[in-house]
């Protein structure tokens, strides 16, 4: 039986990746940091909380990572842990750099010291393209990050490349464009929209405050995207891949899709709050996933409309259950 270790298993992608690896027959281990409250809602939502083994550790604590690798000997390590909210990265740039940049280095170092044959996946991001240098971004597009988060991810990305080149490690970076789901954090724009639209439909709220709704993103479904992470570690050689849909949509149009689905006009509810604008913005992202299609046989399956519908329905159901108590 193959054993995989996931950092960030309590997050959106960690939960879907755990579900997928379990379906492939893996023994799934996850690093869980000490918090004052339990934080396994997403694993419970997918009904897998009792099927994975959660291990105390923190990607800021190198010794905990070394201990876990020595004790459990995973063959694959997926580094999904991060301070992943771009907005917060301006409020907490040092914490973001420690977790998102140095955390990845800690995991790479732990692998190098314990067993360099362990395969490593780094969660890189389209946020690294930032102020885009090419209309459609691919593996060869130059980077220009626009946030402390993007800069931290770029450091982790190059460390992954460097460990591959320096130590011949099987270390891959997936450059994933935005991906969402019903278990997306409430602070990210798609989920903020689907959750608030559902509350408005149920008469619990009457306005949705947003920042810059003219920005555009290439949005896919997390359930589709975690399969690409797995495929990268099964590929015959370690390489980096862009994972995207190839379609871009504005936040405004995404709002329209969500409200339309509920029979509402978004223009009646959305208010623009200048406080929510970012100090530096990534105006538009659109990825070219052809390398992943060609070499991994991976393709995005879920359309934005299908995903938003799934998210709105899940939010409606959850809010109704909360009301019932
Ligand atoms: P997420 O929901 O915010 O999950 C982040 C995870 O990191 C959580 O499990 C969190 O644990 C964990 N974490 C934070 N600090 C940690 C620490 N010091 N030690 C150990 N774990 C820690 O993010 P996501 O959307 O699943 O994204 C997964 C990864 O892909 C992230 O690295 C993100 O930056 C990257 N990425 C995401 C997207 C996207 O669109 N979703 C696109 C490209 C790249 P707690 O639950 O304890 O907070
Ligand atoms: N969160 C949020 N809240 N975003 C808003 C809002 C709002 O009220 N109003 C407008 N936006 C705009 C943001 O300014 C941004 O241009 C866009 O909506 C998407 O914002 P997020 O959903 O927060 O995602 P992100 O693109 O900044 O970052 C996500 O994707 C990256 C990959 O490109 C995160 O998942 C990152 O971790 C990930 O690396």
Q: What is the pLDDT of residues 279-309, one digit of tens each?
A: 999 999 999 999 999 999 999 999 999 999 9
Structure tokens at 209: 């405050």
Which ligand gives the minimal distance to the CA of 146? 2
The pTM for the full model equals 0.98
Whole-angstrom distance, CA of residue 211 vs CA of residue 219: 18
Among 16, 26, 121, 149, the active-site one is: 149
Ordered per-residue pLDDT tens for the chain, 325 residues: 999 999 999 999 999 999 999 999 999 999 999 999 989 999 999 999 999 999 999 999 999 999 999 999 999 999 999 999 999 999 999 999 999 999 999 999 999 999 999 999 999 999 999 999 999 999 999 999 999 999 999 999 999 999 999 999 999 999 999 999 999 999 999 999 999 999 999 999 999 999 999 999 999 999 999 999 999 999 999 999 999 999 999 999 999 999 999 999 999 999 999 999 999 999 999 999 999 999 999 999 999 999 999 999 999 999 999 999 8
**211 CB near ligand 2 (under 6 Å):** yes
* Domain 3-179+219-243: top CATH class: alpha beta
Q: Which of 68-72's residues contact partners 24+ apart within 8 Å by CB, and which partners?
A: 68/5, 68/29, 68/31, 69/5, 69/110, 69/111, 69/114, 69/115, 69/118, 70/114, 72/3, 72/5, 72/29
User: What is the residue extent of each domain of the chain?
Assistant: 3-179+219-243, 186-217+248-281+302-324
Q: For the chain, what is the largest distance between any 2 Cα atoms, rounded to a whole number of angstroms?
A: 58
The residue whose CA has the least distance to atom 18 of ligand 2 is 189
**What pLDDT sits at residue 325?**
83
Whole-angstrom distance, CA of residue 52 vs CA of residue 35: 18
The backbone torsions φ and ψ at residue 271, rounded to the nearest 5 degrees and listed phi first, read -120, 140
**What pLDDT sits at residue 259?**
98
Whole-angstrom distance, CA of residue 17 vs CA of residue 3: 13
Structure tokens at 118: 């362990």
- Residues composing the chain: 325
**12 CB near ligand 2 (under 6 Å):** no
- Are 156 and 124 contacting, i.e. CB atoms less than 8 angstroms apart? yes
Whole-angstrom distance, CA of residue 156 vs CA of residue 83: 13
The residue whose CA has the least distance to atom 4 of ligand 1 is 11
Whole-angstrom distance, CA of residue 143 vs CA of residue 140: 9
Is 125 a catalytic site residue?
A: yes
Sign of the torsion angle spanned by Cα atoms 88, 90, 94, 100: positive
Which helix (H) or strand (E) is 76 found in, with range? strand 76-79
Which ligand gives the minimal distance to the CA of 275? 2
Is 149 a catalytic site residue?
A: yes
- Are 212 and 184 contacting, i.e. CB atoms less than 8 angstroms apart? no
* Domain 186-217+248-281+302-324: top CATH class: alpha beta
Structure tokens at 240: 């980096």
- Are 80 and 17 contacting, i.e. CB atoms less than 8 angstroms apart? yes
Residue to mutate, 13, 79, 83, 143, ligand 1, most ligand atoms under 8 Å from C-beta: 13
């Amino acid at each position: 039986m193959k054993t995989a270790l996931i950092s960030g298993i309590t997050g959106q992608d960690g939960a879907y990746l755990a579900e997928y690896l379990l379906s492939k027959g893996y023994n799934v281990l996850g690093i869980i940091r000490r918090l004052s409250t339990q934080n396994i809602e997403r694993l419970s939502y997918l009904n897998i909380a009792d099927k994975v083994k959660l291990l105390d550790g923190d990607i800021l604590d190198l010794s905990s990572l070394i201990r876990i690798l020595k004790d459990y000997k995973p063959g694959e390590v997926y580094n999904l842990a991060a301070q992943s909210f771009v907005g917060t990265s301006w409020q907490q740039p040092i914490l973001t750099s420690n977790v998102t940049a140095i955390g990845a280095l800690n995991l790479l170092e732990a692998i190098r010291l314990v067993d360099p044959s362990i395969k490593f996946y780094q969660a890189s991001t389209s946020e690294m393209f930032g102020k885009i240098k090419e209309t459609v971004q691919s593996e060869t597009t130059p980077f220009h990050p626009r946030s402390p988060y993007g800069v931290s991810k770029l450091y982790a990305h190059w460390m992954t490349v460097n460990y591959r080149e320096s130590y011949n490690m099987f270390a891959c970076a997936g450059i994933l464009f935005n991906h969402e789901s019903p278990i997306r954090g409430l602070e990210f724009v798609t989920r903020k929209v689907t959750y608030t639209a559902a509350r408005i439909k149920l008469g619990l709220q009457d306005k949705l405050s947003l920042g810059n709704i003219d920005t555009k993103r290439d949005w896919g479904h997390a359930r589709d995207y975690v399969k690409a992470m797995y495929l990268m570690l099964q590929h015959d050689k370690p390489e980096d891949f862009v994972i995207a849909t190839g379609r871009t949509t504005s936040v405004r149009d995404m709002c329209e899709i969500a409200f339309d689905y509920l029979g509402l006009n978004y223009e009646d509810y959305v208010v623009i709050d200048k406080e929510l604008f970012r100090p530096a913005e990534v105006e538009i992202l659109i990825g070219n996933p052809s390398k992943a299609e060609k070499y991994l046989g991976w393709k995005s399956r879920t359309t934005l409309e299908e995903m938003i519908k799934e998210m709105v329905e899940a939010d409606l159901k959850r809010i109704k259950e909360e009301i019932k108590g």
